[in-house]
Structure 1
Amino acid sequence: MIGTAEGLARAYAKRWLWKAAAPVAVPVFGVLTLLLIPLAVLAAPDASTSVASSACSIGGTGASVAGTELDSVQMGHAQTIVTVAAAQGLDPYAATVALATAYQESRIRMLANDGSSPELTAEQAAVTATSLTYPHDGLGSDHDSVNTFQQRWIAGWGSVAQLMDPVYAAEAFYRRLVEVPNWQVIPLTQAAQAVQVSAYGSAYARWEPLASELTTMLWPAAQATAADASGAVAGVCPDLPVPAGSWIRSTAGTVTSGYGPRGGTWHAGTDIAGPRDGPVYAAADGTAVRAECTSAYCDRDGSLSLAGYGNLVELDHGGGVTTRYAHLSAYTVTAGQRVSAGTLIGFQGSTGNSTGVHLHFEVRLDGASVDPVPWLTSRGVDLHAASAG
């Protein structure tokens, strides 16, 4: 899908709330995961391990809002919801309605669904359960409902894949909200209920104070994001501890497209698909020679009709070896900056000539592309190894 939320990664990283907090204020479990599992040698996870968006993201920093404690994952999703509203030209009340709805439905968490509801047919259950394959913060089992808003694919909200994208989920909510007559002036609980058609329609009003305060906190950064199309952000994920001179796997995810001919053209790299805004790290020591938008726009998702890499970082490792990291939602380095293997350089996105969230990774020798898979294999890195999200 082509998101309309402009630069969600920038909103996360620039949000004024974070600036008073240390960059390491991400979920403790996520930090430990990254410290203990270098992406250079990713082992296959246990089958029962869910992919958690809290592993390390640009989600946010926990806060107390209207007497309610929200952790970094909840704050990250809240910022997404508010930023999408601002990007679509809606007013703060729209964001307040959405936040109250999300808190009532999921406590502002991206919930997957195991399809165990007895209301589903076997086929519907199987489709619903595919939500488990996408980044999520927990499980629900209410019919076929998924995500922060508990939207239902059977009810026409979108495909499971779309609904498990936080940006799409917020966009879908606002599409229906603006169709509600007089939504800007009717009570919040009526506006929310008109969108959700919930069996507990009066419950949304309980969370209006929380949602209103959250909107006030997050709206300035959302507005700034809508006004600033730059792809550069400050890094908030910790760098990986990597021995000097090592090569590593740059990001978590699954290889979805390899090096070589593809659709009548030459695919000069390897695509690794992981969570939207998943961290991307320098594959080896080097110097950033490019960190820029290379397409007509990079403030939102691109498409096959758009030329260029989108947000691109290129690193020079010396000896004629360079690497490229493309389609980033945002980048955290500047041209001329020296980086070490494991330095955070950006976040997975879908900018430029792209139709889905992933990292396009290239290795070049004296300017000519080479297959990244054997190159990294010879340096002890298996791009095809299963990876933890």
Structure 2
Amino acid sequence: MSGPAEGAVRVYATRWLVQAAAPAAIPVITAFTLLLIPLAVLAAPEASRPAASSACSTGGTGATVAGVDLDAVQMGQAQTIAHVAAGRGLGPYAATVALATAYQESRIQMLANDGSSPELTAEQAAVTATSLQYTHDGLGSDHDSVNTFQQRWIAGWGTVAQLMDPVYAAEAFYARLVEVPNWQTVPLTRAAQAVQVSAAGGAYARWEPLARELTAMLWPAAQAAAVDPFGAAPGVCPGLPAAAGSWVRPSSGTVTSGYGPRWGTLHAGVDLAGPRGAPVYAASGGTVIRAACTSVFCDRDGNLGLGGYGNLVELDHGGGVTTRYAHLSGYTVTPGQQVPAGALLGFQGSTGNSTGVHLHFEVRLDGAPVDPVPWLADRGVDLDAPDAG
């Protein structure tokens, strides 16, 4: 697949990506992008208690599937794999084959490789070890294998940079799967082995019940993403109960970077670092004036070289007051929609000019930013509370 079709599939995938790797930095750091860089967000601990309704977010949230406990990282990577299958129009069986394969190979984790395998030459080891430069969930050392499917750059799966992109990894798996004769009807383990050519080819069958149940959980969101790929996500979480005219905390998490000067520019909002996939709510009732991807891409996590807010929702509350909700993994509203206080707007992510999962929240008066902490404190909302989830 190439050209516009391939680009569309990449957009379809993973608003809920967990630690997805951006394969290359885009050199567009400007004073504007510096406003959005979350300070020390990677080091911030996740909230010990999730926000109301956070357990119902799609992907990015831990779950027990067929008796197997999967954490948020694994669920987010699984959602990526399902989204790519739906975006390519392959159907749920393709996702089931891929998920069983990924669980066998990596426990559905994006694995880097330190190049320590004795099977590699010094040059091959050095190339393999470059995988450590990319966002990863863990470390492997099997030959030159990397990523969720343990694909090998020496075997022609792609460059290390490409293979450390979860969307590319899934696309590469499916590109070979569809070349397997009768792949839709052959037993799962045979289809997986035809793609992987593994020394333990029969092992994939063990995870078929897990993969089938996981596919059933993730497929509705994957299909929704394929229909409307540009950042939109199904409204799978209920809103927060809030009185008309009131203000509420926009999401769970810890304040990791406040409003004010940062490296000679203004950080125009406050960063709340909560669990990936945590719901983001309307701080007060208003009209959606923007719900869009504002960066070059929003189908995976961003980086410091990427400009823009990523997936952004902006609300107009009247009287010159607007609020912005940035770096979302996905949003659930559309421009022109009227929303009450506490309405679900989307989910915490790390799209755009971001280095970790958080919500960048702004309050603006007649277009000029103001400090959200005292603004909300005057309205009964304490963002500095230890955990207001």
Q: CA RMSD in A?
A: 5.0
Kindly provide the CA deviation profile for residues 364-388 of structure 1, in whole angstroms up to 9, marking residues without a partner as x. Answer: 1121111111111222212122226
Counterpart for residue 367 of structure 1: 367
Structure 2: which 5+ residue stretches go unaligned? 1-9, 18-45, 116-130, 139-145, 158-172
Deviations 1:129-177 (A, max 9, x none): xxxxxxxxxxxxxxxx9xx547888978969x8428xxxxxx9213537
Superposed CA deviations along residues 260-279 of structure 1, whole A, max 9, x for unmatched, are 11123211101112222221
User: Which of 10, 14, 19 is equivalent to 1:8?
Assistant: 14
- Decide whether the 8 Å contact of 1:314 with 1:323 is kept in 2: yes
State the Cα distance separating 1:210 from its structure 2 match. Answer: 5.6
Which structure 1 segments of 5+ residues have no match? 12-44, 106-144, 165-170
C-alpha separation between the residues in 2 aligned to 1:88 and 1:53?
A: 31
Match of residue 137 from structure 2 = 163
> Deviation string for 1:324-368 (max 9, x for gaps)?
111222212222222111110111122222222211100111211
Q: What amino acid sits opposite 1:96 in the alignment? A: T
Task: Using the TM superposition, give the Cα deviation of residue 9 of structure 1 relative to its aligned residue in structure 2, in angstroms.
Answer: 3.9
Secondary structure at 2:151's aligned position in 1? helix
Specify the alignment match of 1:307 in structure 2. 307
Relative contact order, CA 8 A, sep 6+: which one is greater? 2
TM-score by length of 1: 0.59
Q: Which amino acid aligns with 2:55?
A: A
What is the rounded CA distance, in whole Å, between the counterparts of 2:333 and 2:347 in structure 1?
11
- CA spacing shift, 1:55–1:99, aligned 2, 3 Å: same
Q: Supply the AA of the counterpart residue of 2:56.
A: C
| Residue type of the alignment partner of 2:148 | F
Q: Distance in 1 between matches of 2:56 and 2:375?
A: 27
Cα deviation for residue 204 of structure 1 reads 3.6
Give distance in 1, aligned partners of 2:374 and 2:55: 28
Could you say if the C-alpha distance between residues 173 and 363 of structure 1 is closer, same or farther in structure 2, counting changes exceeding 3 Å? Answer: same
Residue aligned with 2:349, SS: coil
How far apart in 2 are the matches of 1:380 and 1:361? 17
Of 149, 155, 162, the residue aligned with 1:174 is 149
Give the total of aligned pairs: 301
Structure 2 SS opposite 1:300? coil
Distance 1:213 1:51, change over 3 A: closer
* Contact preservation (8 Å) 2:224, 2:234: no
Could you tell me whether the CA contact under 8 Å between 1:282 and 1:345 is conserved in 2? yes
Match of 1:240 in 2: 240
Secondary structure of the structure 2 residue equivalent to 1:280? strand
* TM-score normalised by length of structure 2: 0.59
CA contact (8 A) 1:287 1:337 kept: yes
1:40 match: none
For 1:270, the aligned partner's letter is V
CA contact (8 A) 1:274 1:358 kept: yes
Structure 1 residue 93: Cα displacement: 7.6
| Identical-pair percentage | 63
Q: Hey, what's the Cα distance between the residues in 2 that align with 1:318 and 1:50?
A: 31
C-alpha distance in 1 between matches for 2:204 and 2:328: 36
- Opposite residue 321 of structure 1, the aligned amino acid is V
For residues 1-389 of structure 1, the aligned pairs below 5 Å read: 6-9=12-15, 55-59=55-59, 78-84=78-84, 95-100=95-100, 148-149=107-108, 162-163=136-137, 172-176=147-151, 184=177, 203-208=203-208, 211=211, 222=222, 225=225, 228-387=228-387
- Checking the alignment, whether the CA contact within 8 Å between 2:104 and 2:203 is kept in structure 1 is yes
Cα 1:46–1:366, aligned 2, differ >3 Å: closer, same or farther? closer
Pair 1:7–1:372, CA change in 2 (3 A)? farther
